[in-house]
Amino acid sequence: MKPLNRKNTANTATRPLKIVQFGTGNFLRGFADWMVQVLNDQTGFNGDIQMVQVHSRKPARGINEQEGLYHLIVRGFYKGKTVEENQLISCVRGAINPYIDYKAFLELANSPELTFIFSNTTEAGIYFEEKDKDWTITPESFPGKLTALLFQRFRHFDGDPEKGLFILPCELVENNGQKLKENILRYVDLWNLPGTFEDWLVKHNTFCNTLVDRIVPGFPLDAANKIQESLGYRDEQMVMAEPFHFWAIEGTEELAEKFPADKLGLNVKFVSDLSPFRTRKVRILNGAHTCLVPVAYLKDIRLVKEAMDDGETSDFIEKTIFEEIIPSVDLPEDILKPFAEAVLDRFRNPFIKHKLSDISLNSISKWKVRVLPSLLDYIKKENQLPKHLCEAFAALIVFYRGHYKGEAIPLKDKQEILHYFDQLWKIKPTEEVVSSVLSKIEFWDQDLNLIPGLSQALIKEVTLLLEQEKR
């Protein structure tokens, strides 16, 4: 089988460098880079991407050996239909390691047609490192590296206002663009860079807050040989992604003109405020996941797909979303319902083995952010308790007992939280367990026993789960 490279593959001519991308991981390759490929194929965008390694001291041999080429393998459900698509991504040039060749990294800033910065350096990637004392030596942090790159561009083009960039961070951090900008300005101060550079940075570069959503599991290990045979190439860098994708960007009209992904049927929106889309994602997608975990796990289900194949569990999560979560959210239904339908399709994806135990990490803090607002807002709007959210809350309390039907539950949370539940379940009867959990202000920022009827409803559901355990 032929190796994948530009010699063996047609239609892979290089284009002007328009994007420097911090991060070489699966997500950007299966999300933003794919969108650039679509732009190149269907419009006159005509731009390439140069990836930059952020953390590793070793060269990115795999992607560089394939000269940046790889296939995106899309697998899943979309609007009730199974999707299986393969697409060659040829807009990536490969990866530069600034720890190995800092000069080559800085020279990227000199590219005249450079327009965008993409990044995905994990949630912990946007930070300030005081040890980065000198911009002429490779900074440790991503914001430090970006500051050095921007300063090099400022110097090379003599502060030309037309050479500012659009910076689109994809880290899952609220106000990611603003936080990145704040850290860069700290480096300007730390390195005593000229005031003229700071002025250029603020006035002529646009830092956009963004919200991204796509599951990108990465290399399809189980099906790799079969897929490579169908492709006709040995592709060690192919990446699998689900069909669903969404990118909301707080950006200007100028950005939308320069990056017109929203005009091609891609699920990209340029908005003035991300908060409605963040609320939608947290309450529906993340909230449904967090509700599903304890309910399904206590039924001996271990994967999200298995939960959706179980009629009772599938019905439970659908009713939770459509009858309780959506009515609790103060947003138009035409924004919420199509997204919810897509969420259920994503949960049914037969190509992704999403373990409930993985989703269960830090479920107490997740419950507070993802589910509790829906429960409280539903009560406020409907003047009654949400039946399914209460069932999920009760299942969470039993889940944190740490065992069910003689089997240990692999709880993953802060040690003090695990210790609290372990001791509570050992020495307290059901009624006091529920009352104690609801009164835990450290968990919920309030005493939930004060909500009329909630304690009694949860006690009833917890008792029922404990009775079912004995059958």
The per-residue pLDDT for 80 is 78
How many whole angstroms separate alpha carbon 233 and alpha carbon 4? 6
CB 329 within 8 A of CB 280: yes
| C-beta separation of 437 from 455 below 8 A | no
pLDDT score at 313: 98
Indicate whether 54 and 113 sit together in one domain: yes
Domain boundary among 214, 244, 271: 271
CA nearest to 249, candidates 206, 217, 200: 206
| Domain count of the fold of the chain | 2
Same domain, 337 and 265: no
Q: Which domain holds residue 325?
A: 275-470
Query: Domain with 98 in it: what CATH number?
Result: 3.40.50.720
User: Which CATH number does the domain housing residue 377 bear?
Assistant: 1.10.1040.10
Same domain? For 216 and 315 the reply is no
| Domain end residue (candidates: 203, 238, 271) | 271
Query: pTM of this prediction?
Result: 0.92
Question: 386 and 303 share a domain?
Answer: yes
Considering the domain architecture, whether residues 307 and 334 belong to the same structural domain is answered as: yes
Q: Are residues 50 and 96 in contact, defined by beta-carbon separation less than 8 angstroms?
A: yes
Looking at the fold, whether 245 and 126 belong to one and the same domain comes out as yes
Note whether 255 and 304 are same-domain residues. no
Q: How far apart are CA 137 and CA 196, in angstroms?
A: 22
Q: Answer yes or no: do 301 and 154 share one domain.
A: no
259 and 342 share a domain? no
**String of b and e for 38-55 (b: at least 16 CB within 10 Å)?**
bbbeeeebebbbbbbbbe
State the residue for tokens 């599951």: 215
Q: Are residues 200 and 325 in the same domain?
A: no
Tell me, yes or no, whether 62 and 206 share the same domain: yes
Chain-centre distance for alpha carbon 189: 31
The predicted pLDDT at position 13 comes to: 82
Out of 241, 271, 301, pick the residue that ends a domain: 271
Tens place of pLDDT per residue across the chain (471 aa):
999 999 988 667 889 999 999 999 999 999 999 999 999 999 999 999 999 999 999 999 999 999 999 999 999 988 878 999 999 999 999 999 999 999 999 999 999 999 999 999 988 899 999 999 999 999 999 999 999 999 999 999 999 999 999 999 999 999 999 999 999 999 999 999 999 999 999 999 999 999 999 999 999 999 999 999 999 999 999 999 999 999 999 999 999 999 999 999 999 999 999 999 999 999 999 999 999 999 999 999 999 999 999 999 999 999 999 999 999 999 999 999 999 999 999 999 999 999 999 999 999 999 999 999 999 999 999 999 999 999 999 999 999 999 999 999 999 999 999 999 999 999 999 999 999 999 999 999 999 999 999 999 999 999 999 999 988
Cα–Cα distance between 377 and 259 in angstroms, integer? 38
Residue 260 shares a structural domain with residue 284: no
Strands 48-52 and 92-96: parallel
Three-state SS string over 104-162 comes to HHHHHHHCCCCCEEEECCCCCCCCCCCCCCCCCCCCCCHHHHHHHHHHHHHHHCCCCHH
Residue-level pLDDT at 14? 86
> What local confidence, expressed as pLDDT, does residue 164 receive?
98
- Residues 251 and 262: their CA atoms lie apart, in Å, by 12
Confidence at residue 11, expressed as pLDDT on a 0 to 100 scale? 67
Give burial (CB, 10 Å; 0-12/13-18/19+) of 249. Answer: buried
Q: What separation in angstroms does the CA of 357 have from each of 37, 42, 284, 293?
A: 35, 41, 19, 8
